[in-house]
Structure 1
Amino acid sequence: MLVHFVTDEPTKIPAIRAMLEPRYHVVPQLLGGGVTQISSNGALMVDADLRKKVRVEQIRLVLLELSCIPEKLFIVRNHARSMVAQAYALGATAVVSRPREIIFKLAQIEVAEKAARTDFAINSREIADGAATFSSMFSAVRCVKPINLSDAERATSEIINSIAQSGLSAWLDHVRRYHEGTFQHCLLVAGVAVGFAMDIGFASLDVRRLGIAATLHDIGKARIPLSILDKPGRLDPAEEEIMRRHPVIGYELLKDISGVSPEILDGVRHHHEYLDGSGYPDALMAPEISDLVRLLTISDIFAALIESRPYSAAISRQDAYKILCGMDGKLERSLVKAFRNVALVA
C-alpha cells in the first residue's frame, strides 16, 4: 500500500521509512516542493508543525493536489489540542501520535482496501466533515466560546442522508476506520440513533430531533480533562466521578442556546439514565424517562461497545447486542427487541 508522506523536515523521512517499509511503499514530499506521485489508493500522512501559518497554507495546497486520496492521517505529537483541532479543520480523517497508533491505523486502511468494498456511496469527506464539526464544537467549549447550533444541524443532516443512501452498516464500517476516541464515538452514536429511528418508522422530524440529540449528547466532555477523556485504561473512582459530570455540563452549555429544544436538552442530560433508577445524573425512574432518551441510551451503549480502539479490540455487533439483551430492567425490553434488526442486519 502507498503512503504519501508529507513533512516539513527532511530528517523525519528516514524515521518514517524505517517504521513502515518494506510493508508499505513510502513516497515522501517536503512542503513547498512539487507532488512526486499521485494515487487514489493508500493514505496521505502529514507530519508538520500546524502552529505555523505558512505550513498550514502549504498543507492546504498539498491537500488540494492530493484530494483523490481519501485517507488523510495527521501526526500530532502528544495530541496537542490546538494542533488536533487544526488537523481536523484541514480535513484529517484521523489524528495519530505514537508509532503503534500509526501502524494500527494503516493496518485498518490496508484491510479495507483488500476487502475491495463497492459501497462507495458514502464519501470519506462526510466522515471528515463530521469529525471537523465535533472538533470545532469542542474547541469552542474549551475556549469558552458559544456553540454554533447550525454546525450540529448540518452534521446531523449529512449523517441522515448517508445512512438513507447506503445503510447503517456502511456508515459504521467507515467511521471505525477514522478517528479513535470521543469524535469517533459521537459519529457512531449519531449514526446508530438515526438508523434506529429510521428502522422503527420515525417521522423525518423525529429522526432529525433524535439525530441532533445524539450529535450533541457528549458535548459536555469538552470540559473533561484530556488526561481522563483519552485515558486508555479503566478510570479510577475519582476519575469516574469527574467523567460522570459530562451530561450536566452539556446540559448547562446548551440550555440557553436558541433553537435547542427541550427534547434535545433531555437527551443530553439523561442519556445515562436507566429505567431502574441506577443511572446518572438524576437517578430517574422509568416513568420519568422519555422515549427519545430510551432510544438514545441504547444507541450510546451499543456504539461504545463496537468502537475501534488501538488499545483494545472492539466486540462484534452480535456480542454487543447480547449485552444489551442482558440489561433487562435497565433498558426497555421492547426497544431492545426492536433494535435487533439495527444491531445485526442494518
Structure 2
Amino acid sequence: MLVHVLADTSEKLFGLSSLFGGQFTVAGERLDVEAKLPHAAAAVVVRADLRAVENIAALKRRAARFAKAKKRIFLVEQTSHFCISQAYALGATLVLPGKIDVTKLLAALADPGHETGSTSGISQPDNAVEAAATAIASMFTSITLGERVDVAGPKEAGRKITNRISEHGLSDWLATVRRHHEGTFQHCLLVTGVAVDFGLSLGFRNSDIERLSTAAMFHDIGKARVPLAILDKPGRLDDNERALVETHPATGYHVLKGHRDISPEVLDAVRHHHEYLDGSGYPDGLCAENITDIVRILTISDIFAALIEHRPYKPTMPRAAAYEILCGMRGKLERALVASFKHVALTR
C-alpha cells in the first residue's frame, strides 16, 4: 500500500516516514513545496501545526487530490478541540491527537474499516458537538483563505444540534460544550444550542427551527476576520479592539451576501444580532419596528450564552444570574420574549 506523508517541516517528514519501516511504500512531501501528491496513494498521513494559516492553505490546495485516498489520518500534536475540528474540516477521516502513538497509527493504516469508526481510542467527529465545531472551523478557514463558504455543513450541524437537544435537553448540551471547547468556538456552539432550545420551547415548526439554528451557526462568522488574540483576550478590550470586534456583524453579512443558499432572514440575523429595540445597538442602530422576530430571539440567546460561557480567567456565571441581567435590560429586549425565555434559562 502506498502511503503519502505530508508535513510542515523536514524533521517531521523524515521522522514520520521512518516510523513505517518496510510495512508500506512511503512517499513524502513538505507542505511548503509544490504539490505532487500521487493519485494512487491509498492513504495520506498529515503532521502539521493546524494553527498556522499557511499550513491550512497548503492542505486546502491539496484537498482535491488527497480526497481520493480512503484513509486520511491527521496527527495533531496540539490536543485542543480547535485543532481536531480543523483537521476534520480539512478532510480527515481520522485524527490521532497528542504524542504520536506508533501502534495506533500502524493499526489505523492496516485496518480497512477505520474510516467508519471501528478503531477504538481514536478521535471521531461522530456527535453533534464535534460535527458543529468542524463546520465552524471550516467556515472560519474558508473566510481566512478568501474562499466561498460552504453552507451545507453548518445547516446539517444545526439539525444534529436540534436532535441532540430534543433528546437530551439544553443542560446536557451546555455541559458538553464547556468540557470540550473554549473561546469563540464555545460561544458559537452555546448560542446555537440556546437558540434551538428557545425555538423548541416556543413551539416553532421544524422549518423555523432550521432557519434559527442556521442563523445561530452563522451569526459570528465575521469574527474570522478578527485576530484570535483579540477575540479570546483575557480581560477588557481597549477602544480600538472593541471597535474591531464590532465590525463582525457587517463583515459576516458581506461574506454571505449573494450566497444563493443563505435566506434573507438568516442574512438579516447575521447583520443585526447586536441591535436593540431602543436603537442603541450596532451596526445600523435599528429600532423596534425594524428588528425581526428571529433577530430578537437570537439576540437574547447570544447575550445569555456570552454570560454563561466558561473562560479560564473568570468563573462561569450561574444561569439564574444571567437571566436576571436579561430581565434588567429593559427597553433593549422584548419583554414578552424574555419572560418566555425564563423556562429555557432556568429549567431546561
Work out the number of aligned pairs and report it: 262
Q: Cα 1:140–1:335, aligned 2, differ >3 Å: closer, same or farther? A: same
Q: Cα 1:264–1:170, aligned 2, differ >3 Å: closer, same or farther? A: same
Match of 1:173 in 2: 175
Q: Is the 8 A contact 1:160 1:194 kept in 2?
A: yes
Paired amino acid for 1:250: G
Paired amino acid for 1:167: G
Task: Compute the displacement of 1:141 (Å).
Answer: 0.4
Distance 1:61 1:316 in 2: 40
Match of 2:295 in 1: 293
Match of 2:86 in 1: 85
Distance 2:89 2:312 in 1: 19
Match of 1:42 in 2: none
Q: Cα 1:302–1:73, aligned 2, differ >3 Å: closer, same or farther? A: farther
Match of 1:128 in 2: 130
Q: Residue 331 of structure 2 aligns to a residue in which SS?
A: coil
Q: Residue 155 of structure 2 aligns to a residue in which SS?
A: helix
Q: Residue 177 of structure 1 aligns to a residue in which SS?
A: helix
User: Which of 156, 161, 166 is 1:154 aligned to?
Assistant: 156
Match of 1:344 in 2: 346
Unaligned runs of 5+ in 2: 1-18, 22-46, 60-68, 99-124
Q: Is the 8 A contact 2:85 2:134 kept in 1?
A: no
Match of 1:323 in 2: 325
RMSD: 3.2
TM-score between both structures, scaled by the size of structure 1: 0.69
Q: Cα 1:135–1:62, aligned 2, differ >3 Å: closer, same or farther? A: closer
Equivalent pairs: percent with the same residue?
Answer: 50
Q: Is the 8 A contact 1:175 1:188 kept in 2?
A: yes
If you compute each CA radius of gyration, which structure gives the higher value, 1 or 2? 2
Q: Residue 145 of structure 1 aligns to a residue in which SS?
A: coil
Q: Provide, for residues 136-168 of structure 1, a one-character-per-residue CA deviation record: whole Å limited to 9, x for no partner.
A: 110000000100010111111111111111111
User: Which of 147, 162, 165 is 1:163 aligned to?
Assistant: 165
Paired amino acid for 1:229: L
Q: Is the 8 A contact 1:298 1:336 kept in 2?
A: yes
Task: Compute the displacement of 1:312 (Å).
Answer: 1.3
1:193 aligns with 2:205: no
User: Which of 217, 221, 237 is 1:215 aligned to?
Assistant: 217
Paired amino acid for 2:326: L
Task: Compute the displacement of 1:334 (Å).
Answer: 0.5
- Within a 5 Å distance, the mapping from 1:103-142 to structure 2 comes to 125-142=127-144
Unaligned runs of 5+ in 1: 1-30, 34-47, 64-71, 97-122
Distance 2:77 2:127 in 1: 13
Paired amino acid for 1:142: T
Match of 2:3 in 1: none
Paired amino acid for 2:302: D
Match of 1:283 in 2: 285
Distance 1:162 1:215 in 2: 15
Q: Is the 8 A contact 1:133 1:152 kept in 2?
A: yes
Task: Compute the displacement of 1:129 (Å).
Answer: 1.6
Distance 1:169 1:329 in 2: 29
TM-score between both structures, scaled by the size of structure 2: 0.68
Q: Cα 1:334–1:148, aligned 2, differ >3 Å: closer, same or farther? A: same
Distance 2:131 2:86 in 1: 12
Q: Is the 8 A contact 2:226 2:245 kept in 1?
A: yes
Distance 2:300 2:176 in 1: 21
